[in-house]
Amino acid sequence: MDKSQKIRARWIVPIAKAPIENGFVEIVDGRIVDVGKFCGQSDCRDLGDVAVLPGLVNAHTHLEFSDLTKPIGEQGTAITDWIPQVVANRKSKALQGELDFEVAISRGLQECYQVGTAYVGEIATQKNLTHLYGQSQVAGTIFLECLGAAPERTAEIVEQATEFVTSPDGFGDDQRHWILGLSPHAPYSVHPKLLDETVDISRRHQTTVAMHIAESREEIAWIENRTGPFREMLTSMGACYPDEIPNDYSVQRVLETLTRAHRCLVVHGNYLTDENIELLARHRQKMSVVYCPRTHQFFGHENYPLQKLLQAGINVALGTDSRASNPDLHLCAEGCAVVEQNSVDIETALRMITLNGAVGLGVDRDYGSIEVGKIAVFSILKSSERKYSLEDFLFSRSASSLRF
Protein backbone atom coordinates (compact mmCIF):
# COMPACT_ATOMS: atom_id res chain seq x y z
CA MET A 1 0.00 0.00 0.00
CA ASP A 2 1.23 3.49 -0.80
CA LYS A 3 2.06 5.88 2.04
CA SER A 4 -1.14 7.14 3.60
CA GLN A 5 -2.21 10.61 4.66
CA LYS A 6 -4.27 11.22 7.79
CA ILE A 7 -6.26 14.21 9.03
CA ARG A 8 -7.68 14.89 12.47
CA ALA A 9 -10.33 17.46 13.45
CA ARG A 10 -12.64 18.55 16.22
CA TRP A 11 -15.52 17.02 14.25
CA ILE A 12 -15.57 14.47 11.46
CA VAL A 13 -19.08 14.39 10.01
CA PRO A 14 -19.45 11.23 7.89
CA ILE A 15 -23.16 12.00 7.17
CA ALA A 16 -23.99 8.30 6.73
CA LYS A 17 -23.06 7.77 10.39
CA ALA A 18 -23.18 9.84 13.56
CA PRO A 19 -20.72 12.76 13.82
CA ILE A 20 -17.40 11.85 15.42
CA GLU A 21 -15.95 14.31 17.90
CA ASN A 22 -12.14 14.27 17.80
CA GLY A 23 -12.10 12.06 14.73
CA PHE A 24 -9.68 11.18 11.97
CA VAL A 25 -9.71 10.13 8.31
CA GLU A 26 -7.03 8.17 6.47
CA ILE A 27 -6.54 8.60 2.71
CA VAL A 28 -4.56 6.58 0.16
CA ASP A 29 -4.35 7.56 -3.53
CA GLY A 30 -7.14 10.08 -3.17
CA ARG A 31 -9.60 7.61 -1.63
CA ILE A 32 -10.75 7.16 1.95
CA VAL A 33 -9.47 3.96 3.57
CA ASP A 34 -10.40 4.55 7.22
CA VAL A 35 -12.49 6.88 9.38
CA GLY A 36 -13.11 6.85 13.10
CA LYS A 37 -12.23 8.19 16.53
CA PHE A 38 -8.74 9.62 16.95
CA CYS A 39 -6.82 7.38 19.35
CA GLY A 40 -3.29 8.66 19.00
CA GLN A 41 -2.71 7.58 15.40
CA SER A 42 0.66 8.80 14.23
CA ASP A 43 1.41 11.24 11.41
CA CYS A 44 -1.99 12.92 11.59
CA ARG A 45 -2.37 16.41 10.15
CA ASP A 46 -4.37 18.22 12.83
CA LEU A 47 -6.86 20.65 11.28
CA GLY A 48 -7.88 21.94 14.70
CA ASP A 49 -11.29 23.30 15.72
CA VAL A 50 -13.09 22.62 12.48
CA ALA A 51 -15.86 20.36 11.23
CA VAL A 52 -14.86 18.13 8.32
CA LEU A 53 -17.76 17.27 6.03
CA PRO A 54 -17.73 15.43 2.73
CA GLY A 55 -17.40 17.81 -0.19
CA LEU A 56 -20.75 19.56 -0.61
CA VAL A 57 -23.10 18.61 -3.45
CA ASN A 58 -24.96 21.47 -5.16
CA ALA A 59 -27.74 19.57 -6.91
CA HIS A 60 -28.97 22.44 -9.09
CA THR A 61 -27.29 25.52 -10.46
CA HIS A 62 -26.95 27.64 -13.61
CA LEU A 63 -23.33 28.78 -13.64
CA GLU A 64 -23.85 30.83 -16.81
CA PHE A 65 -25.22 33.60 -14.59
CA SER A 66 -22.19 33.68 -12.29
CA ASP A 67 -21.00 37.01 -13.71
CA LEU A 68 -23.90 38.75 -11.94
CA THR A 69 -23.13 40.63 -8.74
CA LYS A 70 -26.75 40.64 -7.53
CA PRO A 71 -30.03 38.93 -8.48
CA ILE A 72 -32.04 40.27 -11.40
CA GLY A 73 -35.14 42.18 -10.33
CA GLU A 74 -36.49 42.88 -6.88
CA GLN A 75 -37.35 40.40 -4.17
CA GLY A 76 -40.96 39.29 -4.50
CA THR A 77 -40.97 39.72 -8.28
CA ALA A 78 -43.44 37.41 -10.05
CA ILE A 79 -41.67 34.83 -12.18
CA THR A 80 -43.57 36.02 -15.27
CA ASP A 81 -42.07 39.47 -14.74
CA TRP A 82 -38.64 38.08 -13.86
CA ILE A 83 -38.15 35.87 -16.94
CA PRO A 84 -38.47 38.80 -19.41
CA GLN A 85 -35.97 40.73 -17.26
CA VAL A 86 -33.52 37.83 -17.52
CA VAL A 87 -33.95 37.70 -21.29
CA ALA A 88 -33.55 41.49 -21.55
CA ASN A 89 -30.40 41.36 -19.41
CA ARG A 90 -28.80 38.81 -21.73
CA LYS A 91 -29.80 40.69 -24.87
CA SER A 92 -28.38 43.92 -23.48
CA LYS A 93 -25.08 42.26 -22.60
CA ALA A 94 -24.90 40.65 -26.04
CA LEU A 95 -25.44 44.01 -27.75
CA GLN A 96 -22.71 45.59 -25.63
CA GLY A 97 -20.32 42.70 -26.23
CA GLU A 98 -20.39 41.77 -22.53
CA LEU A 99 -22.06 38.37 -22.75
CA ASP A 100 -19.18 35.98 -22.04
CA PHE A 101 -20.31 32.50 -21.00
CA GLU A 102 -16.75 31.28 -20.55
CA VAL A 103 -15.98 33.96 -17.97
CA ALA A 104 -19.27 33.41 -16.13
CA ILE A 105 -18.94 29.62 -15.97
CA SER A 106 -15.30 29.81 -14.87
CA ARG A 107 -16.23 32.25 -12.10
CA GLY A 108 -19.05 30.01 -10.97
CA LEU A 109 -16.87 26.92 -10.84
CA GLN A 110 -14.23 28.77 -8.86
CA GLU A 111 -16.81 30.13 -6.42
CA CYS A 112 -18.24 26.65 -5.89
CA TYR A 113 -14.80 25.28 -5.06
CA GLN A 114 -14.01 28.15 -2.70
CA VAL A 115 -17.13 27.50 -0.61
CA GLY A 116 -16.54 23.77 -0.19
CA THR A 117 -18.55 22.33 -3.09
CA ALA A 118 -17.19 19.15 -4.65
CA TYR A 119 -19.97 18.23 -7.08
CA VAL A 120 -22.59 20.24 -8.97
CA GLY A 121 -25.68 19.57 -11.05
CA GLU A 122 -25.16 22.20 -13.73
CA ILE A 123 -27.74 23.32 -16.30
CA ALA A 124 -25.92 24.41 -19.46
CA THR A 125 -27.10 26.00 -22.69
CA GLN A 126 -23.67 26.06 -24.36
CA LYS A 127 -22.79 22.50 -25.37
CA ASN A 128 -19.48 23.63 -26.90
CA LEU A 129 -18.02 24.82 -23.58
CA THR A 130 -17.78 21.50 -21.77
CA HIS A 131 -13.98 21.76 -21.75
CA LEU A 132 -14.23 24.50 -19.10
CA TYR A 133 -15.65 22.07 -16.58
CA GLY A 134 -12.88 19.54 -17.01
CA GLN A 135 -10.33 22.21 -16.09
CA SER A 136 -12.00 23.04 -12.76
CA GLN A 137 -11.40 21.81 -9.22
CA VAL A 138 -14.95 20.47 -8.88
CA ALA A 139 -16.82 17.64 -10.61
CA GLY A 140 -20.42 17.35 -11.69
CA THR A 141 -23.17 16.47 -14.09
CA ILE A 142 -23.74 18.82 -17.02
CA PHE A 143 -27.41 18.86 -18.03
CA LEU A 144 -27.86 20.19 -21.55
CA GLU A 145 -30.89 22.45 -21.51
CA CYS A 146 -33.53 21.29 -24.00
CA LEU A 147 -35.87 24.19 -24.59
CA GLY A 148 -38.54 24.45 -27.28
CA ALA A 149 -42.33 24.66 -27.18
CA ALA A 150 -42.65 24.95 -30.96
CA PRO A 151 -43.51 21.54 -32.47
CA GLU A 152 -41.28 22.09 -35.50
CA ARG A 153 -38.19 22.37 -33.27
CA THR A 154 -38.58 18.98 -31.57
CA ALA A 155 -36.64 16.88 -34.08
CA GLU A 156 -33.67 19.28 -34.10
CA ILE A 157 -33.46 19.44 -30.30
CA VAL A 158 -33.77 15.66 -29.97
CA GLU A 159 -30.88 15.22 -32.39
CA GLN A 160 -28.72 17.66 -30.40
CA ALA A 161 -29.62 15.97 -27.12
CA THR A 162 -28.74 12.53 -28.46
CA GLU A 163 -25.40 13.78 -29.81
CA PHE A 164 -24.65 15.36 -26.43
CA VAL A 165 -25.22 12.31 -24.25
CA THR A 166 -23.53 9.93 -26.70
CA SER A 167 -20.35 11.99 -26.93
CA PRO A 168 -17.34 10.56 -25.01
CA ASP A 169 -18.53 9.43 -21.58
CA GLY A 170 -17.62 12.39 -19.46
CA PHE A 171 -14.24 14.01 -19.06
CA GLY A 172 -11.78 15.04 -16.39
CA ASP A 173 -9.61 12.78 -14.26
CA ASP A 174 -10.51 10.04 -11.79
CA GLN A 175 -10.96 12.52 -8.94
CA ARG A 176 -12.81 15.26 -10.87
CA HIS A 177 -14.99 13.40 -13.31
CA TRP A 178 -17.85 15.04 -15.23
CA ILE A 179 -20.80 13.18 -16.71
CA LEU A 180 -23.58 14.26 -19.05
CA GLY A 181 -27.34 14.56 -18.66
CA LEU A 182 -30.34 16.39 -20.12
CA SER A 183 -32.66 19.10 -18.84
CA PRO A 184 -36.02 19.55 -20.55
CA HIS A 185 -36.39 23.03 -19.14
CA ALA A 186 -39.97 23.29 -17.82
CA PRO A 187 -43.53 22.29 -18.78
CA TYR A 188 -44.23 25.77 -20.17
CA SER A 189 -41.13 25.82 -22.40
CA VAL A 190 -40.95 22.21 -23.63
CA HIS A 191 -43.36 20.64 -26.10
CA PRO A 192 -44.95 17.45 -24.67
CA LYS A 193 -43.44 15.40 -27.53
CA LEU A 194 -40.01 16.85 -26.79
CA LEU A 195 -40.41 15.80 -23.16
CA ASP A 196 -41.35 12.27 -24.24
CA GLU A 197 -38.33 12.07 -26.55
CA THR A 198 -35.95 13.40 -23.89
CA VAL A 199 -37.16 10.81 -21.40
CA ASP A 200 -36.69 8.08 -24.01
CA ILE A 201 -33.08 9.24 -24.57
CA SER A 202 -32.50 9.15 -20.82
CA ARG A 203 -33.76 5.59 -20.58
CA ARG A 204 -31.84 4.33 -23.62
CA HIS A 205 -28.55 5.92 -22.64
CA GLN A 206 -28.84 5.65 -18.83
CA THR A 207 -28.59 9.40 -18.25
CA THR A 208 -30.13 11.61 -15.58
CA VAL A 209 -32.82 14.16 -16.40
CA ALA A 210 -33.45 17.42 -14.48
CA MET A 211 -36.60 19.48 -14.99
CA HIS A 212 -38.07 22.60 -13.36
CA ILE A 213 -41.57 21.61 -12.25
CA ALA A 214 -44.33 23.20 -10.13
CA GLU A 215 -42.14 26.25 -9.60
CA SER A 216 -45.03 28.74 -9.51
CA ARG A 217 -48.82 28.97 -9.38
CA GLU A 218 -48.65 30.81 -12.70
CA GLU A 219 -46.90 27.84 -14.36
CA ILE A 220 -49.58 25.44 -13.14
CA ALA A 221 -52.40 27.71 -14.39
CA TRP A 222 -50.79 27.78 -17.83
CA ILE A 223 -50.14 24.07 -18.33
CA GLU A 224 -53.45 22.96 -16.82
CA ASN A 225 -55.79 25.68 -18.15
CA ARG A 226 -53.76 27.69 -20.70
CA THR A 227 -54.62 30.86 -18.74
CA GLY A 228 -52.95 33.47 -16.57
CA PRO A 229 -49.79 35.59 -16.74
CA PHE A 230 -47.76 32.89 -18.48
CA ARG A 231 -50.01 33.12 -21.54
CA GLU A 232 -49.39 36.86 -21.74
CA MET A 233 -45.64 36.46 -21.21
CA LEU A 234 -45.22 33.66 -23.73
CA THR A 235 -47.31 35.54 -26.30
CA SER A 236 -45.11 38.63 -25.93
CA MET A 237 -42.04 36.43 -26.45
CA GLY A 238 -43.46 34.68 -29.51
CA ALA A 239 -43.46 31.35 -27.71
CA CYS A 240 -47.13 30.73 -27.01
CA TYR A 241 -48.50 27.43 -28.36
CA PRO A 242 -51.68 26.67 -26.37
CA ASP A 243 -53.06 24.31 -29.02
CA GLU A 244 -50.02 22.03 -28.55
CA ILE A 245 -50.88 21.34 -24.91
CA PRO A 246 -53.24 18.36 -24.37
CA ASN A 247 -56.49 19.15 -22.57
CA ASP A 248 -55.58 16.78 -19.73
CA TYR A 249 -52.04 18.12 -19.28
CA SER A 250 -50.96 18.71 -15.69
CA VAL A 251 -48.05 18.57 -13.29
CA GLN A 252 -49.10 15.01 -12.48
CA ARG A 253 -48.96 13.99 -16.13
CA VAL A 254 -45.51 15.55 -16.54
CA LEU A 255 -44.29 13.66 -13.48
CA GLU A 256 -45.79 10.42 -14.82
CA THR A 257 -43.81 10.93 -18.02
CA LEU A 258 -40.63 11.48 -16.02
CA THR A 259 -41.07 8.19 -14.17
CA ARG A 260 -39.90 6.50 -17.38
CA ALA A 261 -36.50 8.25 -17.22
CA HIS A 262 -33.40 6.44 -16.03
CA ARG A 263 -33.11 8.91 -13.15
CA CYS A 264 -34.80 12.25 -12.54
CA LEU A 265 -34.39 15.42 -10.53
CA VAL A 266 -37.59 17.38 -9.96
CA VAL A 267 -36.25 20.91 -9.52
CA HIS A 268 -38.05 23.40 -7.22
CA GLY A 269 -41.40 21.62 -6.73
CA ASN A 270 -42.65 24.61 -4.73
CA TYR A 271 -46.30 23.73 -5.38
CA LEU A 272 -46.30 19.95 -5.46
CA THR A 273 -49.66 18.55 -4.36
CA ASP A 274 -50.33 15.53 -2.17
CA GLU A 275 -51.07 13.55 -5.35
CA ASN A 276 -47.75 14.63 -6.86
CA ILE A 277 -45.87 13.71 -3.69
CA GLU A 278 -47.54 10.29 -3.56
CA LEU A 279 -46.35 9.60 -7.12
CA LEU A 280 -42.81 10.70 -6.28
CA ALA A 281 -42.83 8.49 -3.21
CA ARG A 282 -43.74 5.45 -5.34
CA HIS A 283 -40.74 6.17 -7.56
CA ARG A 284 -38.37 7.38 -4.84
CA GLN A 285 -35.62 5.01 -5.96
CA LYS A 286 -34.99 7.08 -9.07
CA MET A 287 -36.82 10.39 -8.54
CA SER A 288 -35.50 13.10 -6.21
CA VAL A 289 -36.54 16.67 -5.51
CA VAL A 290 -34.17 19.64 -5.46
CA TYR A 291 -35.17 22.53 -3.21
CA CYS A 292 -33.53 25.94 -3.64
CA PRO A 293 -34.45 27.72 -0.38
CA ARG A 294 -33.05 31.20 -1.01
CA THR A 295 -34.43 31.37 -4.55
CA HIS A 296 -37.76 30.22 -3.10
CA GLN A 297 -37.52 33.09 -0.63
CA PHE A 298 -36.48 35.59 -3.33
CA PHE A 299 -39.71 35.02 -5.25
CA GLY A 300 -41.83 35.09 -2.10
CA HIS A 301 -43.40 31.68 -2.69
CA GLU A 302 -45.78 30.02 -0.26
CA ASN A 303 -44.41 27.65 2.38
CA TYR A 304 -42.38 24.84 0.85
CA PRO A 305 -43.84 21.29 1.26
CA LEU A 306 -40.59 19.99 2.73
CA GLN A 307 -42.04 18.12 5.69
CA LYS A 308 -44.51 16.29 3.46
CA LEU A 309 -41.72 15.28 1.10
CA LEU A 310 -39.49 14.05 3.91
CA GLN A 311 -42.32 12.20 5.64
CA ALA A 312 -43.07 10.45 2.34
CA GLY A 313 -39.48 9.19 2.24
CA ILE A 314 -38.54 11.26 -0.83
CA ASN A 315 -34.90 12.17 -1.30
CA VAL A 316 -34.64 15.98 -1.10
CA ALA A 317 -31.39 17.73 -2.00
CA LEU A 318 -30.49 21.41 -2.04
CA GLY A 319 -29.33 23.67 -4.85
CA THR A 320 -28.36 27.30 -5.17
CA ASP A 321 -30.13 27.85 -8.51
CA SER A 322 -28.25 30.83 -10.01
CA ARG A 323 -26.97 34.28 -9.20
CA ALA A 324 -29.94 35.59 -11.19
CA SER A 325 -32.11 34.78 -8.16
CA ASN A 326 -29.55 34.22 -5.40
CA PRO A 327 -26.78 36.44 -4.02
CA ASP A 328 -24.12 33.68 -4.18
CA LEU A 329 -23.47 29.96 -4.68
CA HIS A 330 -22.82 29.18 -1.00
CA LEU A 331 -24.48 25.86 -0.24
CA CYS A 332 -24.02 26.25 3.52
CA ALA A 333 -26.25 29.32 3.30
CA GLU A 334 -28.93 27.12 1.74
CA GLY A 335 -28.54 24.68 4.62
CA CYS A 336 -28.96 27.53 7.10
CA ALA A 337 -32.07 28.70 5.25
CA VAL A 338 -33.59 25.22 5.51
CA VAL A 339 -33.03 25.16 9.26
CA GLU A 340 -34.46 28.67 9.68
CA GLN A 341 -37.43 28.39 7.32
CA ASN A 342 -38.49 24.78 7.77
CA SER A 343 -37.49 23.87 11.33
CA VAL A 344 -35.50 20.81 10.30
CA ASP A 345 -32.68 19.56 12.49
CA ILE A 346 -29.04 20.20 11.69
CA GLU A 347 -28.32 16.59 10.67
CA THR A 348 -31.11 16.70 8.07
CA ALA A 349 -29.84 19.98 6.67
CA LEU A 350 -26.29 18.65 6.41
CA ARG A 351 -27.51 15.53 4.64
CA MET A 352 -29.43 17.67 2.15
CA ILE A 353 -26.24 19.51 1.09
CA THR A 354 -24.16 16.34 0.82
CA LEU A 355 -25.41 12.76 0.49
CA ASN A 356 -28.93 13.55 -0.72
CA GLY A 357 -27.53 15.48 -3.66
CA ALA A 358 -25.12 12.67 -4.51
CA VAL A 359 -27.95 10.13 -4.38
CA GLY A 360 -30.19 12.29 -6.59
CA LEU A 361 -27.43 12.70 -9.15
CA GLY A 362 -26.48 9.04 -9.00
CA VAL A 363 -22.91 9.62 -7.80
CA ASP A 364 -23.14 8.44 -4.20
CA ARG A 365 -20.57 5.71 -4.90
CA ASP A 366 -17.94 8.48 -4.90
CA TYR A 367 -19.47 11.53 -3.20
CA GLY A 368 -21.76 12.67 -0.43
CA SER A 369 -20.33 11.00 2.68
CA ILE A 370 -17.05 10.20 4.41
CA GLU A 371 -16.89 6.45 3.93
CA VAL A 372 -14.26 3.93 2.95
CA GLY A 373 -13.79 3.84 -0.82
CA LYS A 374 -15.13 7.32 -1.56
CA ILE A 375 -13.16 10.18 -3.06
CA ALA A 376 -11.24 12.16 -0.44
CA VAL A 377 -12.65 15.61 -1.04
CA PHE A 378 -13.91 17.51 1.99
CA SER A 379 -15.62 20.71 3.03
CA ILE A 380 -13.97 22.34 6.03
CA LEU A 381 -16.24 24.44 8.25
CA LYS A 382 -14.79 26.83 10.79
CA SER A 383 -16.60 28.51 13.65
CA SER A 384 -15.37 32.04 14.23
CA GLU A 385 -16.90 32.03 17.72
CA ARG A 386 -15.01 28.87 18.73
CA LYS A 387 -18.22 27.06 19.62
CA TYR A 388 -18.40 23.34 19.08
CA SER A 389 -21.91 22.30 18.07
CA LEU A 390 -22.42 21.36 14.45
CA GLU A 391 -25.03 24.09 14.15
CA ASP A 392 -22.39 26.66 15.13
CA PHE A 393 -20.13 25.44 12.35
CA LEU A 394 -22.88 25.46 9.71
CA PHE A 395 -24.13 28.91 10.65
CA SER A 396 -20.64 30.35 10.52
CA ARG A 397 -20.90 29.76 6.74
CA SER A 398 -17.11 29.63 6.63
CA ALA A 399 -16.58 26.69 4.27
CA SER A 400 -13.57 25.82 2.17
CA SER A 401 -12.43 22.81 0.13
CA LEU A 402 -9.77 20.25 0.94
CA ARG A 403 -8.88 17.69 -1.73
CA PHE A 404 -6.36 14.85 -1.71
**Phi/psi of residue 299, each to 5°?**
-85, -5
Helix, strand, coil shares, percent, the chain, to 5: 40, 25, 40
Tens digits of per-residue pLDDT, 216-253? 999 999 999 999 999 999 999 999 999 999 999 999 99
- Do 33 and 148 lie in one domain? The reply is no
Three-state DSSP state, 49: coil
pLDDT value of residue 176: 60
Which residue, 378, 394, 373, 392, is CA-closest to 28? 373
129 and 219 part of one domain: yes
Residue 177: predicted pLDDT: 81
pLDDT confidence of residue 385: 63
Strands (E), 292-397: 316-318, 377-382
Strands 56-61 and 139-146 turn out to be: unpaired
C-alpha to C-alpha distance for 97 and 117, rounded to whole angstroms: 31
DSSP string, 159-209: HHHHHHHTSSS-BS-TTS-EEEEEEE--TTTB-HHHHHHHHHHHHHHT-EE
User: What pLDDT is attached to residue 215?
Assistant: 97
Q: What is the 3-state secondary structure (H, E, C) of 6-48?
A: EEEEEEECCCCCCCEEEEEEEEECCEEEEEEECCCCCCEEECC
- Whether residue 395 is found in the same domain as residue 305: no
Q: Which residues pair with 54 in a beta bridge?
A: 378
Q: Which residues of the chain have pLDDT under 70?
A: 1-2, 168-176, 384-388
Look at residue 130 in the predicted model and tell me its pLDDT.
Answer: 85
Q: Are residues 313 and 276 in the same domain?
A: yes
Residue 48 is part of a domain; what is its CATH number? Answer: 2.30.40.10
In a domain, 165, yes or no: yes
Q: Residues 290, 383: one domain?
A: no
Pairing of strands 20-28, 377-382: unpaired
16/130 same-domain check: no
DSSP classification of residue 321? B
DSSP state string for 132-173 = HHHTSS-EEEEEEEE-B-SGGGHHHHHHHHHHHHTSSS-BS-
In a domain, 186, yes or no: yes
Same domain flag for 95 and 21: no
Residue 124 falls inside a structural domain: yes
pLDDT at position 39 is 92
66 and 151 belong to one structural domain: yes
Domain range spanning residue 39?
A: 5-53+371-403
Helix axes 79-95, 217-225, angle to 10 degrees: 100
Euclidean distance between CA atoms 146 and 210, whole angstroms = 10
366 falls within a domain: no
Q: Tell whether 92 and 20 lie within a shared domain.
A: no
Q: Is residue 205 part of a domain?
A: yes
Is residue 286, in this structure, part of any structural domain at all?
yes
Residue 149: which CATH number?
Answer: 3.20.20.140
Q: What per-residue confidence (pLDDT) applies to 375?
A: 96
- Considering the domain architecture, whether residues 143 and 127 belong to the same structural domain is answered as yes
Return phi, psi of residue 92, to 5°.
-65, -45
Same-domain status, 171 and 117: yes
Clarify whether residues 258 and 145 are in a common domain. Answer: yes
pTM for this prediction: 0.95
Domain count of the fold of the chain = 2
